[in-house]
A and B are shown apart, each in its own frame.
Chain A
Amino acid sequence: MNAIEIRNLSKSFRGMYAVDHLNMTVPQGAIYGFIGENGSGKSTTEKLICGHLVPDGGDIKLFGRDYTDPGVRVRVGALIENAGCFPGSSVYQNLMMQCINLGIENADEEIRRVLEIVRMDDNANLKFKSCSLGMKQRIGIAMALLGDPALLILDEPINGLDTDGMRIMREILVDITKKYGCTVLISSHILGELEKIATHYGIIRQGKMIMELTASEMDSRAQVFTSLKCMDMQGAKAALCKQYTDVREEEGYIRIYDVDDTASIVDYLMKNDHVVSEIRKNKIGLEEYYIELMSKKEAE
């Protein structure tokens, strides 16, 4: 079963489409990386799924049910833009309110559980307004985790976090999908981080879904290249151009694209009397793939 299935979803503001006949499929148990530029419609789509915005048209199904079904919505946790907590109340009070809202019995135990997951067990009595940005984001995740959610919708949860904060957030997300079987829809600009956890990707541009693919499909599409340095860079490049189709000089390196066998490159250069001083094998990551895809779309 798919956790989210969207067909022809549209939403406009003052006649401009923010989401334009969007189709989206998020399989159950996936960590779905939702990628797009600023204003591409990511947050609007997430708000539509959460029922915060009224769609102009289209169909949203969550676990095979209409998204307005109270039974399914009570199992959705969301962190959209901010944690949605009262600044003057403590972390504990904010979480308690959400427990009451969801009708959770043993609220104390549940609050302890989620605070432990987000590594904030010692900060329950802290006022929300005195928490750091990273802590606020984690409290937002804790709020979303209350009541055993089947689906988590996280809008830019790693924005503004430092390296350590990002690592903790990454571990939390992987943990909750593994332990609780939760499906996660996560939008982020920090593609390098997303790449480490996502099992599926959806790329949105100008309100339209331009591509959906799994992490393994992304891997197979990602270009492999070898970077090297030689004593005689020009001579080596000229020699390599005779043997390989895509040879470029970039960032002080000679790069040979779409050749997996590094040994054969070294062998070829040695036969042509070129000494290799540095060599490494690279792979184009999600970020480079995304930039390339966007520039292709721009050109169309």
Chain B
Amino acid sequence: MNKTHEIKFESPTFARRIKGMLGVDFYRLFHTPLFYIFLVIAAIIPAMVSAMTMMPDQNGNQITLYSNVWQIIAASKSLNVIEGIADYANMNMVFIFGGIMVSIFIGHDYKSGYVKQLFTTHAKKQDYMISKSLVCAFAMACMCITYFIGGTVAGLLVGYETDVNIGSLIIAILGKIIMSLGWASLYTFLNVIFRRYFGISVASSFFFGTGILIIGAAAIVEGLGLPTSFLNIFLYGASVNANLSSGIGSLLVCIVVSVAWAVIYNVAGTKLLNNCDVY
């Protein structure tokens, strides 16, 4: 038998652990086509929606989804629940594609078996949740930017008006970028719940991304006689509320709501991983 070597064990700090996990996820993000494909999708979708408005309907009238370039980015007024398709057919759509991207990104961890390497060397499950949430939030934020570029170029080519309050536009864009963190955490959590079922992960991300559940929440809020602005405590409400007439208050709401939900989903996901078999 071999002689016994003296082995020293150093506990890695939280910063070192998270740096390692983030490093892997960013490396993967930049070295696989998935991220770039979704960046292109985010840029093409607003262009396609804008092009649709050029087509006449069955009566020969032109569809008027938008009248202003920046409506492709955000709704023109404060909303808590969408009133028309145009209210939703803006940068909020990134949160739907983003959900699908997160599902594929995390799903590949499980499909390839790489998750075993991660959980063998990382005893703390919170590292996994935090890292996935941050990296996916970054990816969704990048998608918001390519959406902005694609939407602006398409809107200008179609010939929409360009009048806007620049401050509100910036706040709306920043607000939606900040909301990426909350949405990414939600999708990471959903993917941890459905980690063994890739199809269900994708479907649930799509379902939650469309904001269908806000309709139920709106009914409850109305039934209880609460102000509709109460809906801003939800990811969807705060995301829609970042609009072309927003002030700094909307941005603060986005920061608080996004961070609060990110913490909630990360804690819940960590608890789930700690108490369940990881694959």
Which residues of A pack against B, CB within 8 Å? Answer: 1, 28-30, 47, 50-54, 63, 65, 67-78, 80-89, 93, 96-98, 100-103, 143, 147, 150, 153, 177-178, 180-181, 199
Q: Which listed segment binds A: B9-17, B37-45, B169-177, B204-212?
A: B9-17
A143 and B5 form a contact (CB under 8 A): no
Given contacts A70-B17, A75-B9, A85-B114, contact A54 B277 (CB under 8 A): yes
Tell me, in angstroms, the Cα distance from A69 to B9 when the chains sit together: 10
A71 and B10 form a contact (CB under 8 A): yes
Min CB gap B38→A, angstroms: 16
Tell me, in angstroms, the Cα distance from A163 to B111 when the chains sit together: 30
Given contacts A29-B3, A30-B1, A181-B2, contact A71 B116 (CB under 8 A): no
Which residues of B pack against A, CB within 8 Å? Answer: 1-5, 7, 9-12, 16-17, 19-21, 23-24, 27-28, 31-32, 108, 112-124, 274-279
Query: Which 5 residue pairs spanning A and B have beta carbons closest together?
Result: A181-B5, A71-B11, A84-B113, A100-B23, A71-B9
The residue on A at minimum CB distance from B14 is A70
**A contact patch SS:** loop
Tell me, in angstroms, the Cα distance from A88 to B279 when the chains sit together: 21
Q: Can you show 19 pairs from A to B with CB atoms below 8 A apart?
A: A28-B4, A29-B3, A47-B277, A51-B120, A69-B123, A71-B11, A74-B12, A75-B7, A76-B121, A77-B120, A85-B114, A97-B27, A101-B23, A103-B12, A150-B7, A150-B9, A181-B5, A199-B1, A199-B2
A97 and B28 form a contact (CB under 8 A): yes
Min CB gap B193→A, angstroms: 16
B20 and A103 form a contact (CB under 8 A): yes
Tell me, in angstroms, the Cα distance from A77 to B23 when the chains sit together: 19
Cβ contacts under 8 Å, B2 to chain A: 29, 177-178, 181, 199
The residue on B at minimum CB distance from A13 is B277
A96 and B27 form a contact (CB under 8 A): yes
Tell me, in angstroms, the Cα distance from A87 to B117 when the chains sit together: 15
Cβ contacts under 8 Å, B31 to chain A: 89, 93
Cβ contacts under 8 Å, B12 to chain A: 70-71, 74, 103
B32 and A89 form a contact (CB under 8 A): yes
Min CB gap B9→A, angstroms: 4
The residue on A at minimum CB distance from B33 is A88
Tell me, in angstroms, the Cα distance from A86 to B115 when the chains sit together: 10
A54 and B275 form a contact (CB under 8 A): yes
A73 and B120 form a contact (CB under 8 A): yes
A76 and B27 form a contact (CB under 8 A): no
Tell me, in angstroms, the Cα distance from A67 to B124 when the chains sit together: 11
A102 and B115 form a contact (CB under 8 A): no
The residue on B at minimum CB distance from A73 is B123
